[in-house]
Every structure is written in C-alpha cells, then in structure tokens.
Amino acid sequence: MLLSDLSKMIVVHDVFNFIDVPISGVTADSRLVLPGWLYVAEVGIQSDGHDYVADAQKRGAAALLVEHAVDSTLPQIIVNTSRPLTGSIAAACHGFPSHKLRVIGVTGTKGKTSTTLILHHLLSSLGYPVSYLGSLGGRVASKELPATLTTRPAAELQELLRDAVDAGESHMVMEVGSHSIVQRRIAGVVFDTAIFTNLAHEHLDYHKSMAEYFSAKALLFSWLGNSGWSADSIKSRKLAIINYDDCYCEELQKQIAVPILSYGLNPKADLWADDLRLEATRTRFNLHWRHQVLKAEVPLVGRNMVVNSLAALAGGIAENLSLEEMLTALQSVPMIPGRFERLDFGQPYTIVVDYAHTEDSLHQAMLTSREMTSGKLIVLFGCTGDRDKLKRPIMGALAVKTADRVFITSDDPHSEDPEAIIAEITDGIPKEYKNWSCQTDRRIAIEEALSEAKEGDFVLLAGKGHEQVQIFADFVLPYSDHQAVADILSRKT
C-alpha cells in the first residue's frame, strides 16, 4: 500500500517532505518499527511519540504520521490528532481483517475476563476456530500471548486480527476496556456483538465521573449499528447483550440501535437463572430461555460466575449455537486464573484467590465466601496506588463489617507510599470494629492470615488475582498470591 493510499483515508492538515513510498506496516511504538513501516507519533498521557521519531527513523521507518512537523528527512503526514487514526490505518494495511471475522467485544467493570474465557470455551468446544484477547493474555492462531493491557494497542490489535484470519479462524472474542474505547484503540475493528457485564465504581481517576465512565462503555454499543452489511455477509447479524440486573441497563438501551438480548437473575430478562446452588467446586442452577427450563452446571463458584456464564451463553445464542450443546460444554469450563480460584494444598480450610479490587467486587466475593463456610471468614486485601482513592475507606468499612477477621495490606502501590494507602483504607473503619490489622508486606500478611485459619474457615485473598508481579515506585517485584501460599504452606508441612 502506498502512502498516498493511506493519506486518502484521513483528514490531512499538511504534508512535509512528501514522497509516495510503499508502506508495509504501521505502529505507534518506535521500538517495534520495521523497515518500510509508517510510524504514528501519538501524544499520550505520560509520553509524546514525537520525541521518538529519530528512533523510528533509525529502525527503518518509511514515513511519519505526526501532529506537527518534526526534524526528520522522512515523508510526514500532518494531522490534527494522530491517536484516533492508528487503528483505521493499521486495519487498512492489514486488509481490514475484522471484516472477515465474527468479532465479539465484552465490556464492563467486572466479569469481562470470565465471560470472554467462558464464551471462548463454548465456541471452541462446539468446533469453531476462535481466538481471544484480554487481561490474562490471549490465544491467537494457536499461539499463547502474554498478559499486557486489557485491550491491545491499536496497531498490534489489527495485526493479531490479521493473524487470526490467516489461520482460518472464524471468531474473535475480546475484552474491551473503557480506556481503549476512549483512546480509540479499537478504531478499525468492526464488532458484531457487544456484551455489557455491569458498571461499578472504578477508573474514576481516569474518567472523572460515573457519567463519563458510562459514556465510554456506551460508545461500543453505539458503534454497533454504524455499519451496513449485505444479507449474505458474515457481518450481517448485529446484537447487543446486556445485563438486565445492572442499574445502567435501562440507560444503555437508549444508546443501542440493534437488537438486544438481556440476561441476568431477574425473571424479566430474556435469558435468566434461578435456584442457584453453590458448592465447593461448582455451581448449579436452572436456566430459563423461551419457555424452556434447563438444568445447568458450571465448575466455577459464586453468583457472579453464574451471571458471567449467562453472558457467555447469550453470546453463543448470538452465534446460533445450540443451547443444549453449550450447556454440555459449560460443564467443562476450565478454572479461570485469579477469579475466585480455589487453592488446595491439603490444608483443612479453604483458600480462594480473587481479583476483586473494587468495593462492589470485594463485597460480592465476601458474600459468596460467607455462603460457603460454616467457620470464620478471613479476608486479606489492599488497594492499588495511583488509582481511585475514594473507594479505599469504603472498602475498609465493608471488609470489617462483612468478615470475621481482616488483614489490610499492599496491592500494587505504584508511586504511592504503601503505608499511606493503608491509612486511607483504615480511615473508613468505624471505631467499634477491632477485627482488623495492617501489614505492609503482602507475603507476611498472607502468612499471618493463614496462621489464624482453622479447620472449616474460609480465607479470601483479594485484589491481585492472576497477577505475577507487584509494582512499586522504583521496581517491579516478581510476586503472586498463589506462589506465596504455596511457599508458606510448604514450610509448614
């Protein structure tokens, strides 16, 4: 593709040093530039891509997309804002790969990862070649990908979609974070189905208000109806799948111009569940769909996992999968790392690692844990640094009121002082509650929590979930709750 072909796709403010060179790829990361590629200088929150033009040129960039002329001999296309254009240009370079796939986007505060992985399992179990991308990494063209961002950068995402098409895959299921929507990382991706899990108090350090946060999520659904396709196209079916139980459900429906399928625990939903039976290693429930009542079982624990399973089943219905076959496949869903993940090292009490890191998700995890134990509920958690501070005292109050024993510790402090974060958590604890203690070192805190656990108790380690590192101001420490527990219990045997 020639540079002139790409420039016709966008509103060009000016050009500089123009030569109509061939473009073989695109990236906004100067470290990833290959010879013949277009380098897009994006202006981010923490860095300015224009500062890395020299590095891009040294690596063989053929041309630049910039917001102002820079000191370079390369052809320069000058635009008002570069970031929103990266995805669309990358899509063109890769032959618009999302046009050749059924693309399902899952968005919401909680449940994105579980819903994405359950739906991926359902599709693959029923014979569909399917990729997925999300918080835990991904699997594209039979290759396992490491965890990075919830939603990949725009150029990388288009390259992965191309890989999926070239491998003959039919579907892509991907988590879509609110940051990626606002930053237009999903520009150039044509979605067929969008799934809304819920909206809760999170990311307000970025979005500033719940109204702004909601608007970001709603954009994905607004875009669903913006493209028309012929009746015989694989892209001809569009569907919005929404959680009827969520308080934003009604407002979201106003943003949607395609058919809607609702799910939840409310009988007014199109697909709903009741008679939930929580067991140690699985959850059973009755599934209601179009006057049918079917027995369902998932080897995951908790009400949230039932709701996530409903979302995934609704996604399968959107793809015309057999409900009965999906329910069979649902029984073999693998454990989702860090999502109410049970750790069994032969100890006489239950240990669960969960990614709960908001006040609502922590509360729900504690309520589920309470239902599953006749002994004490012991909870350990912290709060991430450089994130929404308003939730910290709320989480402290919720924890001590719900659990029998609470250990407050560090999560990922980032640039903040871990002790200052803990102090903000404890500020919300009413004076009459004495069932808590603080320990900055998370590994030591876990050891203290496990030392108090007795037969029949339930230990909930919340916040870190699947994560494999702990992030501090000046260093990153290899760390996981799973490994910490394994090390601690191995020393006791």
Helix (H, G, I), strand (E, B) or coil at 386: coil
pLDDT score recorded for residue 231: 58
Q: How many Cβ atoms are within 10 Å of 368's Cβ, its own excluded?
A: 22
pLDDT band at 203, cuts 50/70/90? low
**Calpha distance 229→374 (Å, rounded):** 56
Has residue 447 got a pLDDT over 80?
yes
pLDDT band at 190, cuts 50/70/90? very high
Identify the residue with better confidence: 110 or 445: 445
pLDDT score recorded for residue 46: 80
pLDDT band at 229, cuts 50/70/90? low
**Calpha distance 390→404 (Å, rounded):** 24
Record the pTM.
0.91
Helix (H, G, I), strand (E, B) or coil at 103: strand
Q: Read off the amino acid at residue 418.
A: P
Has residue 228 got a pLDDT over 80?
no
Q: Considering the chain, what percentage of its residues have pLDDT values greater than 90? A: 80
Has residue 230 got a pLDDT over 70?
no
Reading the block at residue 334, the tokens are 């693998």
pLDDT score recorded for residue 369: 94
CA-wise closest residue to 93 among 172, 149, 39, 18: 39
pLDDT band at 234, cuts 50/70/90? confident
Q: What is the dihedral of CA 419, 420, 423, 424, to 10 degrees?
A: -140
Has residue 127 got a pLDDT over 80?
yes
CB-based contacts of 18, cutoff 8 Å, min separation 6:
3, 75, 76, 77
- Three-state secondary structure along 265-291? CCCCCCEEEEEEEECCCCEEEEEEECC
Q: What is the DSSP string of 313-326?
A: HHHHHHTT--HHHH
pLDDT band at 400, cuts 50/70/90? very high
Helix (H, G, I), strand (E, B) or coil at 71: coil
- Contact status, residue 287 vs residue 293, Cβ threshold 8 Å: yes
pLDDT digits (tens, 9 = 90+) for 139-182: 999 999 988 878 899 999 999 999 999 999 999 999 998 888 88
**Calpha distance 250→238 (Å, rounded):** 19
pLDDT score recorded for residue 200: 80
Q: What is the DSSP letter of 426?
A: H
Q: What domains, with CATH codes, occur in the chain?
A: 3-82 (3.40.1390.10), 97-330 (3.40.1190.10), 341-492 (3.90.190.20)
- Contact status, residue 402 vs residue 433, Cβ threshold 8 Å: no
Radius of gyration in angstroms for the set of CA atoms belonging to the chain, rounded to a whole number: 24
pLDDT score recorded for residue 183: 86
pLDDT score recorded for residue 433: 96
Has residue 2 got a pLDDT over 90?
yes
Treating both helix axes as pointing N-terminal to C-terminal, what angle do 359-371 and 391-402 enclose, rounded to 10 degrees?
10
Average pLDDT score over residue span 407-411: 97
> HSE on the CB side for 66, CA within 13 Å?
24
CA-wise closest residue to 83 among 157, 206, 176, 184: 184
Has residue 227 got a pLDDT over 70?
no
Reading the block at residue 400, the tokens are 């001590």
Q: What is the DSSP string of 156-184?
A: HHHHHHHHHHHTT--EEEEE--HHHHHTT
The enclosing H or E element of 399 equals helix 391-402
Has residue 493 got a pLDDT over 60?
no
pLDDT digits (tens, 9 = 90+) for 325-352: 999 999 999 999 999 999 999 999 999 9
Q: How many Cβ atoms are within 10 Å of 276's Cβ, its own excluded?
A: 17
- Contact status, residue 472 vs residue 414, Cβ threshold 8 Å: yes
Treating both helix axes as pointing N-terminal to C-terminal, what angle do 391-402 and 418-426 enclose, rounded to 10 degrees?
60
- Contact status, residue 39 vs residue 51, Cβ threshold 8 Å: no
**Calpha distance 471→478 (Å, rounded):** 9
pLDDT score recorded for residue 102: 96
For strand 283-289 and strand 271-278, is the pairing parallel, antiparallel, or unpaired? antiparallel
Q: How many Cβ atoms are within 10 Å of 328's Cβ, its own excluded?
A: 14
Place of tokens 């040294």: 58
Q: Considering the chain, what percentage of its residues have pLDDT values greater than 70? A: 97
pLDDT digits (tens, 9 = 90+) for 285-328: 999 999 999 999 999 998 899 999 999 999 999 999 999 999 99
CB-based contacts of 464, cutoff 8 Å, min separation 6:
338, 353, 355, 411, 412, 442, 470, 479, 480, 481
- Contact status, residue 267 vs residue 221, Cβ threshold 8 Å: no
pLDDT digits (tens, 9 = 90+) for 430-445: 999 999 999 999 999 9
Has residue 71 got a pLDDT over 90?
yes
pLDDT digits (tens, 9 = 90+) for 255-286: 899 999 999 999 999 999 999 998 888 999 99
Has residue 236 got a pLDDT over 90?
no
The mean predicted confidence, pLDDT, of the chain is 93
Helix and strand tally (H, E) in the chain?
Answer: 16, 24
